Amino acid sequence: MQFTALVKNDEHRQIRDSVQSICDQFTDKYWSELDSKHEFPYEFCEAIAAGGWLGIAMPEEFGGSGYGVTEAAIMMQTIGSSAGYFAACSAVHINIFGLHSIVKHGSAIQKEKWLPSIISGKLRACFGVTEPDAGLDTSKIKTRAIKKKDHYLISGQKIWTSTAQQANKIVLLTRTKPIEECIKPTDGLTLFFTDIKNPSISITEIPKMGRHSVNSNQVFIDQLMVTEEDRIGQEGDGFRYILDSLNPERILNAAEIIGMGRRALYKASTYANEREVFGRQIGKNQSIQHPLAECWSELYAAELMTMHAAELYDSNQPCGAEANAAKYLAADAGFHSCDRAIRTHGGMGYASEYHVERYFREMMACQLAPISREMILNYIAERKLHLPKSY
Ligand SMILES: Cc1cc2nc3c(=O)[nH]c(=O)nc-3n(C[C@H](O)[C@H](O)[C@H](O)COP(=O)(O)OP(=O)(O)OC[C@H]3O[C@@H](n4cnc5c(N)ncnc54)[C@H](O)[C@@H]3O)c2cc1C
């Protein structure tokens, strides 16, 4: 069964095959051991960085490959379809497009200082946006950055910050102007890219359902001194900068999930062909094969929407609804595939030996983050169907 990403030309095929050959060195056994020991996949990250892949969508003048989101999606889908699953994607995800705000709004000095090290993997970044009391309503974040003479003093709390234990830098969204003094609630937010290893920052891991090799954390910030050199762009425009990278983020996330869904489907159909009960392959039963055929169709449709959104983005056309719809379709298709993979394996689907239970635990996160399906539907209802804002 073909479970690799759709490609349209030789260059794309080369990206897919090269990334796949790196991923193939890291087996299900490797990833499930890391998952059970809660250990970070350093070797995998080093292999991806050594191949130059962290710079796939970074400008060439800083050592990147200068490709668009289409090529980055092929890369991330390939990683998602590997044994590393969501953990492998999450271990490198931020470096791929999460630092787009620096590329687009950083100063020449900042780009020179940071981008080459991000591309080489020397700088590992995490993303500090979500807060416990704000949730999806980002404008309500409480982390405050107070301007002093030539620096800011930052205090507050972030939650769910993935890879904060390994990162040396954090993309930190803060409020610099009280919300009640702003014209729009999303005004007055300011973005920083600063060192996370600092005595004013403490990090606590959140025990969670899966993706144990890639930690998510609570980050407590108490009177952190940050100089103006670490501020990205203009004070007060941070939310706009984050918005700029949301569409590529949705597209890459969708691509990852499609890869993951395909791998679950591959495992399910392999098992359905091998397992015999009542003297025949279980795959001969339509109650086994039809749901798998449905998953194949759903994943294919999600992939077409994802690549369409990527093409729109890369040709500078609006793609908000398409990128959101891609994430929505992928998350559901991926979830159905994991669910079906477990059911197809029967009791063995619940055992660690076949890995589909690990896939399922990791896939669940894609229903919730980085954007929930409910918020995507809100967006599409409002923007495409012109229905009233419901919240
Ligand atoms: C594994 C994992 C890794 C993560 N990594 C990071 C990271 O690295 N950095 C980071 O900043 N964040 C990270 N997050 C956080 C993630 O982005 C948030 O969990 C997500 O944005 C949802 O926010 P919330 O959990 O606060 O949900 P809430 O905002 O509390 O929402 C709870 C539920 O209510 C629904 N809901 C809320 N409002 C509405 C509405 N108006 N209409 C309909 N439904 C609504 C939501 O859809 C959701 O189902 C991560 C989360 C997970 C699970």
Q: Tens place of pLDDT for every residue, the chain, 391 residues?
A: 456 788 889 999 999 999 999 999 999 999 999 999 999 999 999 999 999 999 999 999 999 999 999 999 999 999 999 999 999 999 999 999 889 999 999 999 999 999 999 999 999 999 999 999 999 999 999 999 999 999 999 999 999 999 999 999 999 999 999 999 999 999 999 999 999 999 999 999 999 999 999 999 999 999 999 999 999 999 999 999 999 899 999 999 999 999 999 999 999 999 999 999 999 999 999 999 999 999 999 999 999 999 999 999 999 999 999 999 999 999 999 999 999 999 999 999 999 999 999 999 999 999 999 999 999 999 999 999 999 999 9
Q: Which residue's CA is the nearest one to ligand 1's atom 38?
A: 136
Residue 93 CA, chain-centre distance (Å), reads: 5
In angstroms, the CA 99 to CA 106 distance is 10
CA distances for 322 relative to 26, 234, 236, angstroms: 33, 29, 28
For β-strands 276-277 and 280-281, DSSP reports them as antiparallel
User: Which is the closest atom of ligand 1 to the Cα of 94?
Assistant: 8
| Ligand 1 neighbour 328 (Cβ under 6 A) | no
pLDDT at 5 (0 to 100): 82
Cβ-proximal residues to 231 (8 Å cutoff; 6+ apart), any chain? 152, 190, 191, 192
pTM: 0.97
Pocket test for ligand 1, best of 212, 213, 368, 389 (most atoms within 8 A of CB): 368
Residue 208 CA, chain-centre distance (Å), reads: 17
pLDDT at 6 (0 to 100): 83
In angstroms, the CA 322 to CA 231 distance is 31
- The C-alpha angle 265, 269, 270, rounded to 5 degrees, equals 115
User: Which is the closest atom of ligand 1 to the Cα of 211?
Assistant: 1
In angstroms, the CA 78 to CA 10 distance is 16
Q: Give me the amino acid identity at 47.
A: A
Q: Give which of 16, 172, 158, 154 is closest to 80, Cα–Cα.
A: 16
In angstroms, the CA 208 to CA 186 distance is 30
Pocket test for ligand 1, best of 191, 372, 380 (most atoms within 8 A of CB): 372
User: Which is the closest atom of ligand 1 to the Cα of 132?
Assistant: 26
Q: Which residue's CA is the nearest one to ligand 1's atom 37?
A: 136
DSSP single-letter state for residue 3? -
In angstroms, the CA 208 to CA 206 distance is 6
| Ligand 1 neighbour 278 (Cβ under 6 A) | no
